[in-house]
Amino acid sequence: MRKIIHVDCDCFYAAIEMRDDPSLANRPIAVGGSADRRGVIATCNYEARAYGVRSAMSSRHALKLCPDLLILRPRMDVYKEVSREIQGIFREYTDLIEPLSLDEAYLDVSDCPHFSGSATRIAQDIRRRVSTQVHITVSAGVAPNKFLAKIASDWRKPNGLFVITPDEVEGFVSVLPVSKLHGVGKVTADKLLRRGIETCAQLREWSKVELAREFGSFGERLWNLARGIDDRAVQTDHRRQTISVETTYDKDLPDLEACLERLPGLLEELGRRMQRLDASYRPDKPLVKLKFHDFTQTTLEQAGAGRDLDSYRKLLGSAFERGGKPVRLIGVGVRLIDLRRVREQLELFN
């Protein structure tokens, strides 16, 4: 049985800004782009969230919700340095660390000797040390697997700790809304709701075959998550799955033709980035991402399609049809095959 801790910093960028400038405490602040340049909120403190401000929201809309909101420019070098300091604390407990971003990570402490192997006490000590050494707060979740640990870390945010023991998994997951399951977005959640499925207990009434028929390859994943099953190991060697480039435009692109005009420039930049890939990756499926003026977005990829301009034009056209609205962001990319992992799997079977 694994012992997994998911650590998530509370409003990370904003917390660092408040730490470095105490006069910002107790007032609504956000870190992000300028409202007059179609900026987007990267994160905000809890005072701002009380007004409805959220990450990925346009700065202009955030100011409408909270006229007193102070939007600060990001200081990425500072945030990266703080992240390295926090990960240094993690490494004193385990080498099995999987960073998900600058402000969150999975830790496998199954073999950690500290505190007689108690994952709960390890998580408590990590939270204490980050608070006293880095002067920001983190929330943590402790569980037998990554799926549950991530849910647990959000359960008592901010500055909280939530533990799901192996004996508690069955009861906890049975009443869990399916919208909390990893990979279940709004579209899938709505599809489940139309079939009368709101909780994992209701999802368990469906067989693997029925779920596969309704949701394809994701159906088996749903079957496992509804039972609290997640066998994914903490990955210490983070490898790319895609390579992409995207641009947010100062003015919305009104139609498909305007989007297609931007495509050659985006593909040129994508080509430059792909040239920097090492030989352990092989390009696979092309993909396109569109974010519409109302912040809804769609991503489309196609197996067997080429990576030439004409193929991307067709993919972009299909993605645009899903929204049919003015576009604020276009992204193009390529799904990657990790040849290193392929070789490892072949060696395992041989």
Answer whether 243's CB lies under 8 Å from 274's CB.
yes
Residues 270, 308: one domain?
yes
pLDDT at 342: 66
Known binding residue 8? Answer is: yes
| CB contact set of 96 (below 8 Å; sequence gap of 6+) | 107, 108, 109, 110, 234, 236
Encoding tokens for residue 33? 């782009």
Residues 199, 254: one domain?
no
Answer whether 95's CB lies under 8 Å from 107's CB.
no
pLDDT at 39: 87
Residues 264, 336: one domain?
yes
Q: Domain for residue 176, yes or no?
A: yes
Q: Domain for residue 130, yes or no?
A: no
Q: What CATH number does the domain containing 61 carry?
A: 3.40.1170.60
Token match 């490892």: residue? 344
Residue (of 319, 340, 331, 339) closest to 273 by Cα position:
331
Domain boundary among 195, 225, 255: 225
Residues 219, 280: one domain?
no
Encoding tokens for residue 80? 């990266």
Answer whether 83's CB lies under 8 Å from 138's CB.
no
Residues 253, 197: one domain?
no
**DSSP string of 36-77, one letter each residue:** GGT-BEEEE-HHHHTTT--TTSBHHHHHHH-TTPEEEPP-HH
pLDDT at 64: 96
Q: Domain for residue 105, yes or no?
A: no
pLDDT at 187: 82
Amino acid at 149: A
pTM of the model: 0.75
Residues 328, 257: one domain?
yes
Q: Domain range for residue 213?
A: 169-225
How far apart are alpha carbons 163 and 155 in whole angstroms? 9
Q: Domain for residue 124, yes or no?
A: no
Residues 32, 58: one domain?
yes
Domain boundary among 75, 100, 115: 75
- Regions of the chain where pLDDT drops below 70: 341-350
| Catalytic residue (one of 98, 104, 220, 268) | 104
Q: What CATH number does the domain containing 334 carry?
A: 3.30.1490.100
Domain boundary among 190, 225, 260: 225
104 in active site: yes
Q: Domain for residue 127, yes or no?
A: no
pLDDT at 344: 56
Residues 258, 216: one domain?
no
Could you give the number of structural domains in the chain?
Answer: 3
Residues 264, 334: one domain?
yes
Q: Domain for residue 42, yes or no?
A: yes
Q: What CATH number does the domain containing 190 carry?
A: 1.10.150.20
Alpha-carbon dihedral angle through residues 164, 168, 169, 173, given to the nearest 10 degrees: -100
Q: Domain for residue 103, yes or no?
A: no
How far apart are alpha carbons 331 and 329 in whole angstroms? 7
Q: Specify the length of the chain in residues.
A: 350
How far apart are alpha carbons 31 and 54 in whole angstroms? 11
Q: Domain for residue 44, yes or no?
A: yes
Answer whether 4's CB lies under 8 Å from 106's CB.
yes
